[in-house]
Amino acid sequence: MNKLMSREIKLGDRSHRIVFGSLQDLGSEMSKAGLRGKALILTHHRIMRLHGKALLEGLKKFKTVICEIPEGEKSKSETGLAQVYESCNRNRIERDDTIVCFGGGVVGDLGGYAASNWSRGMNVVQVPTTLIAQVDSSIGGKTGIDWHGIKNKIGTFKQPRLIFTDTSVLSTLSDRQFRNGMAEVVKYGILDMKIWLMLIHKGDILARNAEKLNELVWSCANLKCDVVEKDEFDVHGHRAKLNLGHTIGHAIEGALDFKLLHGEAVSLGLIAAAKLSMKEMTIQESDTPIHRMLESYGLPTKLKNMDKNRIIELMFSDKKVKEGKLRFVLIKKIGNVTFPNEVSVEEVKKVLD
């Protein structure tokens, strides 16, 4: 995908652009954003093997160093953070230099958090390479690491100087990783009818048709940009709606020691949210369309042998809990969700059953 598309995310002195283009254009876009000096590329070995040549070509005007971390959620930890800090120290990365997060959500969250702390704050650029990162996690400035099985418990808000997305890299994703990202896309479809209608015509998306996929990713990214502009720090309830399916989803991830991918857990969380919505709000349509949509993209809708008590315990560490009460994003109908909604532990247990 070579045609450049961009928009500004308007956040006052933290405003920045999200650009869709080819990796070869990354360096020029970073220069336009006022970035100079060294670029520490935080990534995985596999990503560099597949796309590193194009990335380095795009960054040829920058002095680059590479920090590779192991793939998987386990790297989003104090151990992974220490590895980034050690690389910054070894390569004499200074405050005016930039961490380039070249990977999925784990890389983006970890690199953003490291950038918010190293030298009391340095530049970060997000270059997401997975579907889930391109539509969601690279946008909005939420960074962090997991702690004792609790997802994103330690973190900061750190807006990047630039988000640069090349959807052509999605062609090399495994089928499982592609489905993983589709869970977040389905979430956006529940939030927005236009995206839901795009998902109904799934043939081109599953075939990874470049034009259709680019349109879908851009639509989801734009929706998140709009929400972030209204509620950057997640205090007014607008941004909380983006966590549809995540309260139970994050708890399932932690309870299973992250053996499920994030999107797989979110898929189960979306099913749970739909069922809770039927009980709590007399949802205007059954959960069947959501169930069928998730299944049509090969996502899980059932989970056996779960530790319900552990899931509920982890749910009480969710950031939306207030005064010890569980608060959920619930669905009135496709295109209309509400927050906050208090839900009892008993109702959650029934849904988990």
pLDDT at 2: 55
Summarize pLDDT for 98-123 with one digit per residue, the tens. 999 999 999 999 999 999 999 999 99
CA atoms within 13 A on the CB side of 262: 25
- The length of the chain in residues reads 353
**Which residues 6+ apart lie within 8 Å of 268 measured at CB?**
248, 249, 252, 300, 301, 302, 303
pLDDT at 1: 46
CB 233 within 8 A of CB 157: yes
Task: Please list the alpha-helical segments (H only) found in 244-340.
Answer: 246-255, 262-281, 288-296, 308-315
C-alpha atoms less than 13 angstroms from C-alpha of 348 in its C-beta half-sphere? 28
For residue range 206-217, list pLDDT tens digits in order.
Answer: 999 999 999 999
| DSSP annotation of 282 | -
How many whole angstroms separate alpha carbon 60 and alpha carbon 27? 7
Nearest to 255 by CA among 306, 301, 305: 306
pLDDT of residue 280: 59
Low-confidence ranges of the chain (pLDDT < 70): 1-2, 279-284
Cβ contacts of 153 within 8 Å, gap of 6 or more: 144, 145, 146, 147, 317
- Domains delineated in the chain: 5-172 (3.40.50.1970), 175-352 (1.20.1090.10)
Q: What is residue 24's predicted lDDT score, i.e. its pLDDT?
A: 96
Q: For residue 282, what pLDDT is reported?
A: 57
Which residue, 135, 134, 133, is CA-closest to 109? 133
